Amino acid sequence: MREITYAQAVREALAEEMRRDERVFLMGEDIGVYGGAFGVTLGLIDEFGPERVMDTPLSEAAIIGAAAGAAVLGMRPVAEVQFSDFLTIGSDQLVNQAAKMRYMFGGKARVPMVVRTPAGSGTGAAAQHSQSLETWFMHIPGLKVVAPATPYDAKGLLKSAIRDDNPVVVFEHKLLYKTKGQVPEEDYTVPIGKAAVRREGIDITVIATSIMVLRSLAAADRLAEEGISVEVIDLRSLRPLDAETIVKSVCKTGRAVVVHEANKFAGFGGEIVGTIVESEAFDYLDAPVVRVAGKDVPIPYNPHLERAAVPQEEDIVAACRSLMRQSPRWRALA
Amino acid sequence: MAESTIIAARRVDLPPERLVHMYRQMLRIRHFEEQVDLLFQAGRIWGTFHLYIGQEASAVGAIEVLEPDDYITSTHRGHGHSIAKGASIPLMMAELRGKETGYCRGRGGSMHIADVEAGNLGANGIVGGGIPIATGAALACKKLGNGRVVMCFFGDGALAQGAFHEAVNFAAVFKLPVVYVCENNQYAMSMPVARGLGSTDITVRAAAYGLPGVSVDGNDVLAVYEAAKEAVNRARRGEGPTIIETRTYRWRGHSKSDANRYRTKEEIEAWKQRCPIRRFGSFLEGLGILTPVDRDRMEREVEAEIQDAIAFADSQPDPDPAQLADGVYA
């Protein structure tokens, strides 16, 4: 199969869905000739024109709200919010309007809209252009939230999001845009709400999303050399959450590590831990469930500080080793 | 307070039955709101609501211009807009009572009454929250080429919201078919407009977006109609948005909890002298379109209609808690 980048995969999803359905259109800041801050929409304006690849004023509330208003009338807008940090500026329209419109109106409205947004740290953009705010939005009934880790999923989940009749927020990690992966040329979708087991293992379940999946897989390679067998689950969707896949895996391994880039306090790791301990997996736990997450600081500018603020491969390795040392079987062997 | 107490003499290009219909719509809003207040005092409506009494000419004059398949967005003070857009009063009453058969199946209440199929894209609990939604709806109308327009209502308080600026600028940039109707009822809750806005001149604001702006006596239903007509025509011609200010006054408190500490009885009384319904009624009598007997009869008909709606709502079932999560997702 051919390999393309994550950014190309996103662009293909947008182009194919616009060709497939004339109700689909794009709105965002500098997404036309400029191609978007990360070049994701580069060239789309040439094929689809400025009516369907709309450069908007710098107005996140208007972009998200206009997407919601257009969606209620049957269009399928895909809004790009240039940095996920800017979701805060438009969040009334997302949280109080788009997410709740259907329920408030007694189930009599559909809001088929997508908000795509580059997220995460690692680019030296500091505190207002580097956050991972997915937990804010997965807390809101009425929204769906996805965070693809691979080019295949970036394309397949975005297509599902565009075809979904609910508001879907797609978090795309900036550092993933240039990563490559296999993506088929024919049409396919990845269902929202289904996790993927990226690597099978028997000792520890590592649960991650987005770029943390890649770091968890790299950590799993190293741990395998030490005889620790790690199962890596890529959640892909945060809401709805595939609790079944998580619980099944933890029942098998008896140990769980949740990895996310967002700072630990009130991050989605708490929700995953809650999901595990409220389930039958609780009875299978051989050790406390551990969260490997960002430090509770704004993302700093200096590259050494920035790196220290979010989980790296070695942090995941260390957490897994420590967990194995705590568990009864390994203590008995020691 | 420079407003007249009478309807200004003007050429009326509406047939008598339309004028009578407008008068009836204003009466229906007034009586609906009065009964809602009584029902609340009697403990039969709970939560909160925001009464439109005193502002009826604004909703009726503006919405009367629209075609049935045009759209509106409304505000927390939205009962008047719903009724003017043709909402069923029994279904509104059922919603205020939280009933399963209400407009929102009892999930929305006063601040979220909507009827998307009928072009009412919803009241809104967030001040200014509907302005971007209306703008997006207008964008959809333009893309669909369906010739429809969106009329977006909001109060003077929303002029201080960022969403107003973002959405109006957005609509101006794309020349969207939307009419922004700012109902200036003189207070953003307790904040008088002169203290809450750097400029109270809507035409200055409109000019800043490159848009026409017009300010009208919002208690004169025909003045509102004329301004709205021009704005809707302009929008339908593809020439973009207009901002209209309707200068009016809410007689009652902001919501049920308002003790009116920020204004005087004299001020309220002075505005009541310019009751939009009485003014329009007198005007129609002057034209010989209605007699005092007609007006009494219409009042009684409307009262009966509202009482029937209350009885209907009484008879309706509450939502089943087992269906609590219905409608979160499509």
Query: Closest partner residue to B327 among A57, A61, A106, by Cβ?
Result: A106
Q: What is the pLDDT of residues A277-300, one digit of tens each?
A: 999 999 999 999 999 999 999 999
pLDDT for position B256: 81
B127: alpha, beta or left? (left if phi > 0; alpha if psi -120 to 50):
beta
Would you call A258 helix, strand, or coil by DSSP?
A: strand
- Write the CA distances from A296 to A171, A253, A308, integer angstroms: 20, 29, 11
What residue in A sits closest to B136 (Cα-Cα)? A66
Q: Is the pLDDT of residue B45 over 50?
A: yes
Q: CB distance B327–A102 less than 8 Å?
A: yes
What topology does CATH give the domain B16-310?
A: Rossmann fold (3.40.50)
Query: Closest partner residue to B327 among A63, A66, A103, by Cβ?
Result: A103
Average pLDDT of span B126-153: 98
Looking at domain A3-182, which of 3.40.640.10, 1.10.4190.10, 1.10.3720.10, 3.40.50.970 is its CATH number? 3.40.50.970
pLDDT for position B304: 98
Query: Closest partner residue to B137 among A64, A72, A165, by Cβ?
Result: A72
- HEC per residue, chain B: CCCCCCCCCCCCCCCHHHHHHHHHHHHHHHHHHHHHHHHHHCCCCCCCCCCCCCCHHHHHHHHCCCCCCCEEECCCCCHHHHHHCCCCHHHHHHHHCCCCCCCCCCCCCHHHCCEHHHCECCCCCCCCCHHHHHHHHHHHHHHHCCCCCEEEEEEHHHHHCHHHHHHHHHHHHHCCCEEEEEEECCEECCEEHHHHCCCCCHHHHHHHCCCCEEEEECCCHHHHHHHHHHHHHHHHCCCCCEEEEEECCCCCCCCCCCCCCCCCHHHHHHHHCCCHHHHHHHHHHHCCCCCHHHHHHHHHHHHHHHHHHHHHHHCCCCCCHHHCCCCCCC
Q: CB distance B330–A102 less than 8 Å?
A: yes
Residues of chain A with CATH 3.40.50.970: 3-182
Residues of chain A with CATH 3.40.50.920: 196-325
What residue in A sits closest to B111 (Cα-Cα)? A104
Q: CB distance A104–B170 less than 8 Å?
A: no
A328 pLDDT band (50/70/90 cuts)?
low
Would you call A70 helix, strand, or coil by DSSP?
A: helix
- Give the neighbor-by-neighbor strand order of the sheet with A53-55: A53-55, A24-28, A76-80, A114-119, A168-173, A144-146, A237-239
Q: What is the pLDDT of residues A230-274, one digit of tens each?
A: 999 999 999 999 999 999 999 999 999 999 999 999 999 999 999
pLDDT for position B7: 64
Q: CB distance B133–A64 less than 8 Å?
A: no
- Report yes or no: A84 and A28 within 8 Å, Cβ to Cβ: no
What topology does CATH give the domain A196-325?
A: Rossmann fold (3.40.50)
Rounded to two decimals, the ipTM of the complex is 0.94
Q: What is the DSSP letter of A233?
A: E
Q: Is the pLDDT of residue A302 over 50?
A: yes
What residue in A sits closest to B109 (Cα-Cα)? A104
B2 pLDDT band (50/70/90 cuts)?
very low
Query: In angstroms, rounded to a whole number, what is the distance separating the alpha carbons of residues A172 and B107?
Result: 34
Distance from CA of B330 to the nearest CA of A (A): 6
Q: Which residues in chain A touch residue B105, judged by CB atoms under 8 angstroms apart?
A: 106-107
User: Hey, is the C-beta of A76 within 8 angstroms of any chain B C-beta?
Assistant: no
Q: Which residues in chain A touch residue B170, judged by CB atoms under 8 angstroms apart?
A: 56-57, 59, 62-63, 66
Query: Closest partner residue to B114 among A105, A111, A144, by Cβ?
Result: A105
Distance from CA of B168 to the nearest CA of A (A): 9
